Chains A and B, each alone.
Chain A
């Protein structure tokens, strides 16, 4: 029985894919996977891939008057503008990030979504801690695609501002100097859920740059100092290293097959 799906004892099938070269198609593959897991065509699945440069807008963003200008700004910076079917505001990712789509069947998918944010956010923070980062869960004021279960990291100089007693589970007040490292969002259908996350590991500068232009066009608040990558905090951290640590963290919870 897993923490995030008490009704299931099924192992999680690891599915590493390459980027297709079409960011919209890569996003759609996650939605397609959700349908396949819902119907029983595929087992519970953990899909991982390193994406091409993409600016994934939320559906709400499309209704803003500055959306067209924001999409043009993204394209001009080399990030393909797409609209994603999971929740949240605009997020940017590229080959220095890892996309993780965790998909499970669930008889009552809607009612558990807050608990999934809490449990998987903490799992991802613990994964980053295993790589030496001071990581925690909580919304950073001014972050892109804000959410109370975003996973952040702290630079060494900010560690003294962390509360004594070590990291606590669940959202909390985030110390100054934190940078967002993992954004999480969900898509829920009757009978299944997709928990989609972006781990920013390497090369944060282009992400800060394109998000500055995009959020300016959308007329939404964004503080570029809050966008970072794991390697900014622990130099030398790589996507491959993060991927191995994440699989190991999942394997502590339940059986992982495939991959």
Chain B
């Protein structure tokens, strides 16, 4: 299913689960400008879920690090790219689902070699994502998209 651009509030009392689902998606161009515009929509989604402050911080951290990494490395060519992020809150767990059509990139494979604190590379960001995540799943789809699920661990720092 192709996700739609909609970061607006869900319709009050809407019985349509699809309407509620699309309201928790933010989609944007794979560029710095697209990222900056999307940030407000993503934070508005989090506002609606009234998350505990630590969980909220972790969601924003994962969004920041994953999206900036996609734009920096996955969308560095001259092509137009698109990114979407879906927020799913179930109980005290939040899963962020990222889709992009940039070059293949599995963040699970890239963290250990570059996570040195002394490095100026983006590896530090992926190390942060790993530190606040309970689970990370990645798939490169047959139609050349990256699908990444990051489930954020709630509660105390691990």
Chains A and B are bound partners? no
* Chain A contacts to B: CB under 8 angstroms: none
Where the two chains meet, the residues of B that have a C-beta atom closer than 8 Å to any C-beta of A are none
